[in-house]
Structure 1
């Protein structure tokens, strides 16, 4: 009798999953592409390796665990927000103080979020992971960005070393979140932060609304609105049916008193200002001001039927 062949199914093994409360931290090296262009592959890789070594060292020092390294970025998990915040501040400091890195003017940016996470094998999943990733994408060089939710988990002395950057829509969240910067450089010179109520009043003074006109139709975006989407997809707030337009091409968000166009497309977004200046953005952000023209996927041309005219209307 012929022996039965045993079949092995890839990934067919028992997986241990459990949920815990933790703080997720992403630390990203700024301008890593320029390092390779300026110093060459070998030296740039040495610089990156040194930075990642220091970041991993600070993670371990504050009882954190490095989950994975993603190119020039590390993702870590900490037992609580206090240790994660201290680690983030020390990460910034150690990069600036390292004798080998000083001549290269290295900067990093950090985003973190506290909340429930699903631990599966050697990886993390969940809302806190997604928000932390969004925070690091919002951060600029030398910044540590988190949310008010995370700050509430901190002791008073650490919570005082923060300032509000206002409210913003975060992808996947139903409500706006208050974005907070951690002031790690000069804690002795902190100033009083603006309250949320004052922030709401301020942004209504700065800009009342954004008017978009497309093919004779008028769209009005208010500061209190959620992200306004543009694209070829039927669910977009403004649908542009053109082959060069991505299904989810761009989104307009209101942050810190300004309307920000965030492009996430394949072919990019072209803008023509009232003074004749032209801009091209692709997978980056652009602040809309005064008035101008937006064209998705192709350069602005007078004969194009797909021009989107915009105007920031002051209060």
Structure 2
């Protein structure tokens, strides 16, 4: 009996921050927009020689015979996202899968999904397994990042960024704060206090997410050459605060007298108090890439 296994280039793509999209424009409008975007993405996949395996709510799983096909489709997706006033996250991996009825199975699917999860909005990430098989033309559009630890893997996986036609370095602008909100009165609530150059943000259920980076739309905008445009995000979830790094240079968390924790495309809970360096080690609160944090029950 012939083997059902076959090597494929796998793509997971989703609409970034889709929950916030529904809050911003309403359920009906957001649902209609999501369907239009997914239909367009499906056309791009098929136009690049691939096929959509299944829809995933606000995203798709697609497969291609070659990595070149997957990369070309991904770049086209990123180049058209502005038409819809949203951003996409794309993860690519090349590996062996087992074909099932309307689905694909195997470790390669898990890796591709994980790569998509750690991509920041508007970014394409791919594993070395896919990049190594690209044509010279497309390999020149890749930029190696760090090794990423993945659940179930004994060794970390090398991840690369793939640059689309519209990628480029943004100019570094002045620092602004996008949010400033105090804790609501009444009741005991877990809070996280962030301070940066005389400004303060209090995170809680009323302000459950703050994005951090050089980009103008960031909740906390930092003018440091060491900080990425979309560097990190802090989320309030399940009574704790989770910091997720999406950067090139990493995020450095120092708490008490312990050695710093370094995140590269990974997440960790923030506890106690300390300093966070976005792009380099946090030595003191006066540095332009450093914020101070303090968690408490208040």
Instruction: Tell me the TM-score normalized by structure 2.
Output: 0.59
Query: Would the alpha carbon gap of residues 290 and 68 (structure 1) be closer, same or farther in structure 2, given more than 3 Å must change?
Result: farther
CA gap of 1:73–1:160, structure 2 versus 1, over 3 A, is: same
Contact 2:13 2:88 in 1 (8 A): yes
Where does residue 273 of structure 2 map in the other structure? 273
**Among candidates 116, 132, 139, match of residue 96 of structure 2:** 116
> Shift of the alpha carbon at 1:107?
0.5
State the alpha-carbon separation in 2 of the partners of residues 120 and 74 from structure 1.
17
Is the alpha carbon distance of 1:126 and 1:250 closer, same or farther for their aligned partners in structure 2, counting shifts above 3 Å? farther
Map 1:157-306 to 2 at 5 A.
Answer: 157-186=137-166, 256=249, 258=251, 259-260=262-263, 262-263=267-268, 269-274=269-274
Quickly say closer, same or farther: Cα 1:34–1:149, change in 2 above 3 A.
same
Q: Structure 1 stretches (4+) deviating beyond 6 angstroms?
A: 249-252
**Residue in 2 aligned with 1:146?**
126
Secondary structure of residue in 2 paired with 1:58: helix
Report the secondary structure of 1:110's partner residue: strand
Partner residue, 1:230: none
Decide which structure has greater helix share: 1
Match for residue 31 of structure 1 among 13, 17, 24: 17
How far off its partner does 1:44 sit? 0.8
TM-fit CA distance, 1:140: 0.4
- Distance in 2, matches of 1:38 and 1:72, equals 16
Deviations 1:33-53 (A, max 9, x none): 122112111111111111101
- Looking at structure 2, the residues matched to 25 and 108 of structure 1 have their Cα atoms a distance apart, in angstroms, of 12
- Tell me how far apart the structure 2 counterparts of residues 183 and 270 of structure 1 sit (CA, whole Å): 32
For the 8 Å contact 1:67–1:124, the answer to whether it is kept is yes
Q: State whether residues 243 and 270 of structure 2, in contact with CA within 8 Å, keep that contact through their aligned partners in structure 1.
A: no
Q: What is the aligned partner in structure 1 of residue 47 from structure 2?
A: 61
Deviation, structure 1 residue 185:
2.9
Return closer, same or farther for 1:163/1:61 CA change in 2, 3 Å cut-off. same
Instruction: Give the whole-Å Cα distance in 2 for the aligned partners of 1:117 and 1:134.
Output: 16
What is the Cα deviation at residue 289 of structure 1?
5.2
The equivalent of 2:65 in structure 1 is: 79
The partner residue of 1:88 within 59, 65, 74 is 74
Q: Aligned pair in 2 of structure 1 residues 63, 166: CA closer, same or farther (>3 Å)?
A: same
Deviations 1:155-177 (A, max 9, x none): 00000001011222122222122
Query: Within 2, Cα distance between the matches of 1:182 and 1:262?
Result: 22
1:21 and 1:116 in contact (8 A); partners too: yes
Secondary structure of 1:140 counterpart: coil
Q: How does 1:35-50 map to 2 (within 5 A)?
A: 35-50=21-36
Query: In the alignment, is the contact (CA less than 8 A) between 1:17 and 1:121 conserved in 2?
Result: no
CA contact (8 A) 1:32 1:72 kept: yes
1:133 to 2:113 alignment: yes
Q: CA RMSD in A?
A: 3.5
CA distance in structure 1 between the aligned counterparts of 2:154 and 2:43, rounded to whole angstroms = 36
2:87 aligned with 1:107, yes or no?
yes
* CA displacement at 1:87 relative to structure 2: 0.6
Change (3 A) 1:47 1:288: farther
- How many pairs are equivalent? 202
Q: TM-score with structure 1 length normalisation?
A: 0.56
Q: Structure 1 residues 157 and 251 mapped into 2: Cα distance closer, same or farther (>3 Å)?
A: closer
Q: Which residue of 2 aligns with 1:214?
A: none
Shift of 1:72: 0.5
- Any idea what SS the aligned residue of 1:271 has? coil
For the Cα contact (< 8 Å) 2:13–2:89, is it kept in 1? Answer: yes
Runs of at least 5 residues in structure 1 that lack an aligned partner in the other structure: 1-15, 191-243, 264-268, 278-286, 292-298, 302-315
